[in-house]
């Protein structure tokens, strides 16, 4: 294919403004997908994504329209996957910016525009949902003008009714520049996603920036200098369709017997062994997990199943790590590393659904650097493994630079939230009349708790959050231990700031009292720092008549109840003589 006939683009939108619906319509309109095959929102493949309405993994599809090859690259929409988004955008020359005609420009719209500008993309504004009675395209046009986008360029559309889909496709051809690429240059292919298939090995999603690649070529991954022979190249139509060659400007896949996604990471450059490119494409980063937690099967006999499941998941996810860990309270499990909380939840849910496991997951932690008095330096991501406070000279924790984009009216709430989470104000900039960017220095451990959700709820969803690791700094931290029924439960230990330790201890004991079920005996819950008890609450014993009322002696009813419990995941762990439910391990995240 001549590069003049290729267009590479993505669709960006604030949540629910109609990105997936528009993508579907474009595929239907161009017969890329027949009606019968058309599932709702084909681009979001995983069930989980569909249910949560979020896009986790980037996907690509090639659309043939008017003798042009249009490559639509889907991008994930969550802060945990910011790096994948940046690589997807790097594979495009243009973006369709979808704006809801009734909602207008929102914070994520702004964040998306910045991203698009950063990657030098041609932006096509689409005002969607003009079929809605509340649609007000004129107001949206005014907003566009305010943020520096020519309103005359906006296309009015209804993805739902299929109105003006052809105009959008035409604009993709007419306005987005063709890729500028030399087909005769040495191969440079940008990996913008990769996944593992048990039959074919790793499938690399690539944008060919320069050169070309075909079957039997010897390719070289530039970050790790590993080489492989190409088994197949092709494009997504949307199913994987083999092709003789992928040439400069095109988007498709390369299969080459790579057995591990960690050898073919997002952002890497693929070149040829015989005629390598002089330099890799800019921007490669090996994304590392930032958040760690312990994963334990509620039933110890599921340990091997869990191990196999984790191995399988890791095949497909280069940013997820795990290693065996033991807890006195929870037994044998794994310490797992994730990009962020959403990533953690997604993996937990996949393990429970796809492998039918019942799991308990401990509160997420960051990696701390501990300097001991004897000069040893430890890197610890499990609070339970913290050394005795008497041995510690100093504790360093990771800090991030956080940027929050939001409408001015929510600045007060957002600042308060940052301050409550040990944020240190750095800067505030007006983007336009009523939009602001706040910059804060914050401990990563505060961001990974409920921060993102809280920010969203305090700003009615308008704020967006971006953060990057700044480095490690000394903090006044202590380990908060929890004793249940007089026994220290290592998996409930957390690291807190000394200033908040009493408050946290108090909150945790009260919260645990609520979530741990009553037993036949009284269960005291205590919080302790360095062996000193700082807070206490008691779970009263269950009274006999309560039990009778519950089960009533009717054996069939009791059995039914038990079976019902069995169906739903139990997520409960027997620790000594006390049963501790999943909520207890996450209590620290909720805070007050």
Q: Which residue has the tokens 């490119």?
A: 277
Quick one: which segment of 60-68, 124-132, 164-172, 455-463 binds ligand GTP (CB under 6 A)?
A: 124-132
Going through 89-143 in order, the beta strands assigned E by DSSP cover 94-100, 122-128
Using the rule CB under 6 A, give the single segment among 15-23, 310-318, 404-412, 417-425 that binds ligand GTP.
15-23
Contacts of 211 (CB under 8 A, 6+ apart): 182, 183, 184, 185, 186, 187, 188, 189, 247, 248, 271, 272, 277
Residue 383: CA count within 13 A, CB half-sphere: 27
Name which of 19 and 511 has its Cβ closer to ligand GTP: 19
- Kindly tell me which residue out of 57, 129, 243, 573 binds ligand GTP, with binding defined by CB under 6 A: 129
Strands 68-73 and 6-13: parallel
Check the annotation: does 396 bind a ligand: no
Residue 130 among known ligand-binding residues = yes
Residue 13 touching ligand GTP (CB under 6 A): yes
Is residue 184 within 8 A of residue 212, CB to CB? The reply is: no
Does residue 18 interact with ligand GTP by CB under 6 A? yes
Q: Which of 77, 137, 234, 398 binds ligand GTP (CB under 6 A)?
A: 77
146 touching ligand GTP, by CB under 6 A: no
Q: Quick check: 160 binds ligand GTP (CB under 6 A)?
A: yes
Q: Which is nearer to ligand GTP, 15 or 392 (CB)?
A: 15
Is residue 556 marked as binding?
Answer: no
Q: Give the binding range for ligand GTP (CB under 6 A) out of 129-137, 232-240, 300-308, 367-375.
A: 129-137
The reply, when asked if residue 104 is annotated as ligand binding, is no
Helix (H) or strand (E) run with residue 270 in it: strand 269-272
Neighbour count for residue 386 (Cβ, 10 Å): 20
Q: Which of 3, 20, 256, 449 binds ligand GTP (CB under 6 A)?
A: 20
19 vs 396 by CB, closer to ligand GTP: 19
57 binds ligand GTP (CB under 6 A): no
Q: What angle do CA 318, 321, 326 make, to 5 degrees?
A: 165
In the numeric block, the tokens 């620790």 are attached to 575
Asked whether residue 128 is marked as a ligand-binding residue, the answer is: yes
Torsion of CA 259, 265, 266, 269, to 10 degrees: -100
Under the criterion CB under 6 A, does residue 16 sit at the interface with ligand GTP? yes
First to last CA, the chain: 59
The nearer residue to ligand GTP, 158 or 421, going by C-beta atoms, is 158
- Quick one: angle between helices 82-90 and 107-118, nearest 10? 50
DSSP H or E run through 208: strand 201-210
Regarding 19 and contact with ligand GTP (CB under 6 A), the answer is yes
19 known member of a binding site: yes
Q: Is 56 annotated as a binding residue?
A: no
How far is Cα 5 from Cα 239, in angstroms, rounded to an integer?
21
| 4 near ligand GTP, rule: CB under 6 A | no
Largest CA distance in the chain: 84
- What are the residues binding ligand GTP (CB under 6 A)? 13, 15-21, 53-55, 77, 128-129, 131-132, 158-160
């Amino acid at each position: 294919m001549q590069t003049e006939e290729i267009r590479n683009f993505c669709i960006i939108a604030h949540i629910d403004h109609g990105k997936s619906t528009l993508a579907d319509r474009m595929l239907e309109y161009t017969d890329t997908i027949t009606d019968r095959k058309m599932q709702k929102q084909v681009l979001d493949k995983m069930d989980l994504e569909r249910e949560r309405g979020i896009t986790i993994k980037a996907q690509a599809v090639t659309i043939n329209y008017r003798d042009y090859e249009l490559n639509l690259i889907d991008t994930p929409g969550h802060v945990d996957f910011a790096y994948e988004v940046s690589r997807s955008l790097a594979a495009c020359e243009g973006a369709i910016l979808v704006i809801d005609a009734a909602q207008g420009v929102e914070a994520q719209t702004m964040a998306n525009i910045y991203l698009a500008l950063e990657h030098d993309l041609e932006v096509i504004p689409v005002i969607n949902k003009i079929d809605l009675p509340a649609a007000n395209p004129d107001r949206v046009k005014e907003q566009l003008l305010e943020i520096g986008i020519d309103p005359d360029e906006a296309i009015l559309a209804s993805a739902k009714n299929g109105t003006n889909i052809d105009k959008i496709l035409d604009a993709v051809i007419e306005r987005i520049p063709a890729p500028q690429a030399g087909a005769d240059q040495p191969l440079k292919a940008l990996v913008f996603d990769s996944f593992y298939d048990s039959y074919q090995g790793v499938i690399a999603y690539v944008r060919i920036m320069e050169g070309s690649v075909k079957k039997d070529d010897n390719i070289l991954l530039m970050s790790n200098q590993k080489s492989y022979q190409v088994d197949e190249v092709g494009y997504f139509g949307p199913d994987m369709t083999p092709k003789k060659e992928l040439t400069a400007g095109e988007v498709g896949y390369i299969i080459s017997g790579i057995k591990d996604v960690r050898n073919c990471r997002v952002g890497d450059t693929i070149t040829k062994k015989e005629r390598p490119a002089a330099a890799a494409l800019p921007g490669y980063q090996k994304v590392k997990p930032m958040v760690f937690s312990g994963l334990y099967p509620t039933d110890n006999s599921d340990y091997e199943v869990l191990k196999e499941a984790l191995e399988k998941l890791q095949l497909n996810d280069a940013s997820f790590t795990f290693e065996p860990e033991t807890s006195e309270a929870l037994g044998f499990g794994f310490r797992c590393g994730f990009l962020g909380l959403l990533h953690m939840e997604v993996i937990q849910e996949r393990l429970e659904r796809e492998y039918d496991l019942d799991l308990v997951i401990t509160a997420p932690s960051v990696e701390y650097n501990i300097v001991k008095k004897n000069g040893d330096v430890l890197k610890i991501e499990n609070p339970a493994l913290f050394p005795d406070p008497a041995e510690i000279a100093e504790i360093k924790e990771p800090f991030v630079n956080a940027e929050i984009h939001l409408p001015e009216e929510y600045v007060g709430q957002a600042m308060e939230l940052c301050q409550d989470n040990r944020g240190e104000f750095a800067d505030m900039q007006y983007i336009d009349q009523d939009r602001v960017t706040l910059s804060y220095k914050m401990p990563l451990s505060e961001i990974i708790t409920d921060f993102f959700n809280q920010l969203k709820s305090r700003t009615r969803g308008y704020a967006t959050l971006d953060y990057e690791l700044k480095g490690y700094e000394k903090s006044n931290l202590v380990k908060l231990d929890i004793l249940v029924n007089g026994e220290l439960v290592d998996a409930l230990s957390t690291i807190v700031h000394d200033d908040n330790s009493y408050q946290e201890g108090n909150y945790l004991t009260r919260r645990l009292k609520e979530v741990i079920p009553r037993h036949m005996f009284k269960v005291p819950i205590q919080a302790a720092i360095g062996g000193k008890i700082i807070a206490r609450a008691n779970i009263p014993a269950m009274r006999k008549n309560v039990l009778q009322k519950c089960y009533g002696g009717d054996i069939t009813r009791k059995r039914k109840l038990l079976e019902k419990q069995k169906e739903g995941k139990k997520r409960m762990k027997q620790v000594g003589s006390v049963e501790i439910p999943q909520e207890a391990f996450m209590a620290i995240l909720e805070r007050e």
